[in-house]
Amino acid sequence: MAPAQVRPLPSPFKRVLLRCTVDMQAYGQCVTSKLPAVELGICEKEFRALKTCMERAVKNKG
Amino acid sequence: MTLASELGRSSRCCLSRVGVPVAAAQRLATRAAGEFSASGDEVGDKNADVFDRELKSKQRDRAAWFMHESDPILDTVTENLLDRLEDCKRMFPTALNLGGALDHVQRMLHGRGGIERLISMDTSVDMIGRSKRLAAMDGVTGEEAKRSALENMQIIADEEYLPFQAGSLDVVISSLGLHWVNDLPGAMSQCRTALKPDGLFLAAMFGGETLRELRIACTVAQLEREGGVSPRISPLAQVRDAGNLLTRAGFALPTVDVDEYTVRYPSAMELIEHLRSMGEVNAVRQRSLVMSRDTALATASIYQSMFGESDGTIPATFQVIYMAGWSPDISQKQPKRRGSATVSFQDLQTAFPPDAFSKTSDDPKSTSTTKSITELASESKERERTGHNESEETSRTTRLPSGSWFKLD
């Protein structure tokens, strides 16, 4: 079975994924630890950090 | 809606020339009679449909341009599906190719099942254009003799309003095309009507476990970011319903089997891109129209941390249900009429008396003289496990009464 040809689209989201892995992990860990009782804004702090990183990543290139 | 404009060879096609196609008329009749479809929409109420068909057709238009030549999932599923054609001794000259992995079926057919005429059908114009280009390409390069001998036709039509005359098709193949249909039992029974007697219906569709990880990650992300949940993954048929679907559509000898494929992606982004290129983007009517960037970001992070593998890739499950059914025909074996049994389970006990199985006389299990079938079965299993010696086996077989007590016909 041949692997799918991945055509790399230069999307800003990709840049975010590449540059903000630490913040993404922190946020992901926070939510995973709170399962199954996840509520609105339960990991707000980590998400704010991730959002700032994302905005920085998107702004710097574009 | 005129279909004749899309047909090059209308003289040899099997469309009915009557005003309303036969199968669709039947469907309207059943709707009027008050039948509810599997998706639970009300009788005659178009707005209660689960899937937005027009949107799906637009998404497939887009996917027609993005779809890769060889896609691992579509190729594997189509190959598995077409393989089943080789298990049949019959030849199927006329085949209908329902939307989904249209051109994959066309490309990978290789003349299996004796198919001479392949009609590809889809609601999306660009998908059909792609299929046309593929057909033209084969003729020009003149690849295998079998493939170029395949007569290709393309139709733009909806699976829920099948434009075929009753008893005109030999086989209906649908590779990952039926999971966006609103009225699935209706569509399948229209297929059955359109098939000749002893015609084959082969379908592969995504099952309930598909994209389980994505569904979980989406739900958790929405709960955390928005406090509410909206459907992001379309409702999919469960494996246990597939058999019911086939029998409800009127197919004889239904067969269902399931395969689960796990595909790994570098990140959630690639997964979404892949789904988009296959045309599998969400088209549920009730979905919230906007997915905020926050939620998308949250989904990707949660997916990664909940399901990420050690090397950073994420898995995605695709559960495919393969269904096969035959349109009824007198040549098929029918189930026996109730009350026509000639032997009963009591005869099993006379054929295999209880003391034939006991290992020793003081076996704690053999306290009662007559045992139920389940006890006999569990005892024989235990015997196999403990590796009982051969002599008891031979002694058991000699106790069989002369003539078979178990009739097979």
Say what the pTM is: 0.68
Q: Which helix (H) or strand (E) holds B195?
A: strand B195-206
Q: Which of A56-60, B26-30, B89-93, B292-296 has the highest mean pLDDT?
A: B89-93
Pick the residue from chain B with its C-alpha nearest to A27: B301
Provide the sign of the torsion angle of the four alpha carbons B188, B194, B198, B203, taken in this order: negative
Residues B296, A54 contacting (CB under 8 angstroms): no
Q: B305, A14: Cβ pair inside 8 Å?
A: no
pLDDT at B378: 61
Residue A56 tokens, joined:
């920085």
The end-to-end CA distance of chain B, in Å, is 51
Q: Residue A23 and residue B247: Cα distance in Å, rounded?
A: 52
Q: Which of A13, A28, A38 sits opposite B301 (nearest CB)?
A: A28
Q: A24, B300: Cβ pair inside 8 Å?
A: yes
What's phi and psi for B78, nearest 5 deg? -65, -40
User: B76 to chain A nearest CA, in Å?
Assistant: 8
pLDDT at A61: 59
Q: Residue B127 and residue B156: Cα distance in Å, rounded?
A: 9
> For residue B151, what are the contacts with CB-CB under 8 A and spacing of at least 6?
B9, B116, B117, B118
pLDDT band at B160 (very low <50, low <70, confident <90, very high): confident
User: A35-44, B5-14, B276-285: which has the minimum mean pLDDT?
Assistant: B5-14
What ranges in B155-248 are assigned the alpha helix state H?
184-194, 212-225, 239-248
How do residues B286-338 score in pLDDT, each as one tens digit? 666 667 778 888 888 888 888 888 888 889 999 999 999 999 888 887 777 88
What ranges in B318-386 are assigned the alpha helix state H?
346-351, 373-386
pLDDT band at B404 (very low <50, low <70, confident <90, very high): very low
Percent of all residues in chain B with a pLDDT value above 90, rounded to a whole number: 10
pLDDT at A1: 43
pLDDT band at A9 (very low <50, low <70, confident <90, very high): very low
Residue A10 tokens, joined:
């230069």
Q: Which helix (H) or strand (E) holds B197?
A: strand B195-206
Q: Which of B293, B296, B306 sits opposite A32 (nearest CB)?
A: B306
Contacts of A31 in chain B (CB under 8 A): 220-221, 224, 298, 301-302, 305
Which CA distances in Å does B402 have to B280, B397, B398?
A: 61, 11, 10
Q: Complex ipTM, two decimals? A: 0.80
Q: Distance of alpha carbon B385 from its chain centroid, rounded?
A: 37
Residue B293 tokens, joined:
């960037």
Contacts of A43 in chain B (CB under 8 A): 224
Q: What is the mean pLDDT of chain A?
A: 76
The residue behind tokens 């937005």 is B52
* DSSP code per residue over B272-288: HHHHHHHT----BTTS-
pLDDT band at A56 (very low <50, low <70, confident <90, very high): confident
Those residues of chain A whose CB sits closer than 8 Å to some CB in chain B are 1-6, 9, 11, 13-14, 16-17, 24-25, 27-29, 31-32, 35, 38-43, 47, 50-51, 54
